[in-house]
Structure 1
């Protein structure tokens, strides 16, 4: 079977890079890092059953490992495409296909992961796991919006919360801290646009909020 030089170069670069990443993926030290990360999340769940606690720790750690594998392989393929001597449009098309394939794998993994968590934890604890994987951005940001704009209606609060939760679903599958925060940044932009359309002057609301925070600090220090 005839293989184009371009395709052969791509295959060789991908195989080499993925081979390196596969070794990292199986590295005992890396596995320890994921288990430690998972253990911190589980500690906050206050699970009294030791066996169940260990099971959840392993489920979360394995999720981190699986996510890393998908992102590493995706990044390797994209890097290989960038090294090929092809036009910008062709490169863009190949990268889009690589990202689309990775997204399908992430979506499948996401559903499987939540199914495992839901089989062993209450909805509140599943949400706590999600918050643990995303640095608690949802509760912190939701509180911040309510504190910044005390006049928010119930409908507006629901809109804000629902968008933050949707962002979390994406962020928990992201491959890095930067990517996780980027997802929240995207949805916070959507929320800001929504609030502006509702008539809020966000710059004015933010300035007033900062002043109230400073006033609280002074009061607490006295």
Structure 2
């Protein structure tokens, strides 16, 4: 989800003075806000649609829960950014104090995200099966977990059950973090971090990942030629 920091700051404050401070016309902000709300509604409806919920009312309720989660996440990040802006202005001449304040703000943000994450999953679990909750998580993270898990198994044909289990554990952990990330890039960054951990784990187990990758590419080319 793209950052809309200015919009979100304005949404949080809603004051005329902030409009003047940022030289942004209220009408423009309202248009941006409407576009943002439309975007998260569409995204939430799309995620809820693949859950195959028979009850239309229940499906709408689930979509609303997902929509509210996107909105609440953005509220947290907008508040963080507003606080950081004030912190930079207050401690502009004191680098040590600035870094300490930034660290404190990061801790506060993480605490808020953890609390929201738990509450969100509780709401989803009250409406959905565990399998459907996983589908929502995948929908919020572009399906990176199943795609990556499948790719590891296709790339390295000799993975044993224990290795597959560990890979899945780490990808699942990455997904939990990515769900709360503030942008598409940061969602993917969480998976990148854990893929690095997985690659180190596989290298330590004796796998030559470069060779495995080349062999996988050859298998895919051969399969594509066979279809032709």
TM-score by length of 2: 0.85
Structure 1 position 177 matched with structure 2 position 167? no
Report the Cα distance in structure 2 between the residues aligned to 1:149 and 1:129, rounded to whole angstroms: 28
Q: Distance in 2 between matches of 1:109 and 1:146?
A: 33
Structure 2's unaligned 5+ residue stretches are: 1-5, 15-28
The alignment status of 1:43 with 2:49, answered yes or no, reads yes
Alignment of 1:190-205 (within 5 A): 190-205=197-212
- Counterpart in 2 of 1:67? 73
| Residue 167 of structure 2 is aligned to residue 160 of structure 1 | yes
Q: Paired residue for 1:186, among 190, 193, 218?
A: 193
Please list every run of at least 4 consecutive aligned residues from structure 1 whose deviation after the TM superposition is greater than 6 angstroms: none
* Counterpart contact for 1:171–1:180, Cα < 8 Å: yes
Structure 1 distance, partners of 2:69, 2:9, is 20
What secondary structure, in the 3-state scheme, does the structure 2 residue paired with 1:200 have?
coil
**1:98 partnered with 2:105:** yes
Once the 2 structures are TM-superposed, how far is the Cα of residue 21 of structure 1 from its aligned partner? 4.3
Q: In structure 2, what is the Cα distance between the partners aligned to 1:19 and 1:70?
A: 10
Give, in whole Å, the separation in 2 of the partners of 1:196 and 1:167.
20
For 1:66 and 1:37, the matched residues in 2 are separated by: 15
Q: Sort the Cα spacing of 1:18 and 1:86 in 2 relative to 1 into closer, same or farther, 3 A.
A: farther
- Once the two structures are superposed, what CA deviation does each residue of 1:149-201 show, in whole Å capped at 9, x if it has no partner? 01000000000001000000000000000110010000000000100110111
Judge conservation of contact 2:155–2:213 (CA < 8 Å) in 1.
yes
Q: Which of 77, 80, 99 does residue 83 from structure 2 map onto?
A: 77
Greater Cα offset, 143-152 or 18-27: 18-27
Structure 2 counterpart of 1:142: 149
Does the 8 Å CA contact 1:18/1:76 hold for their aligned counterparts?
no
Alignment partner of 1:53: what SS?
Answer: helix
Q: Find the counterpart in structure 2 of residue 113 from structure 1.
A: 120
2:145–2:172 contact (8 Å) kept in structure 1 = yes
TM-score by length of 1: 0.88
Question: Is contact 2:76–2:112 with CA below 8 Å preserved after alignment?
Answer: yes
Alignment size in residue pairs: 206
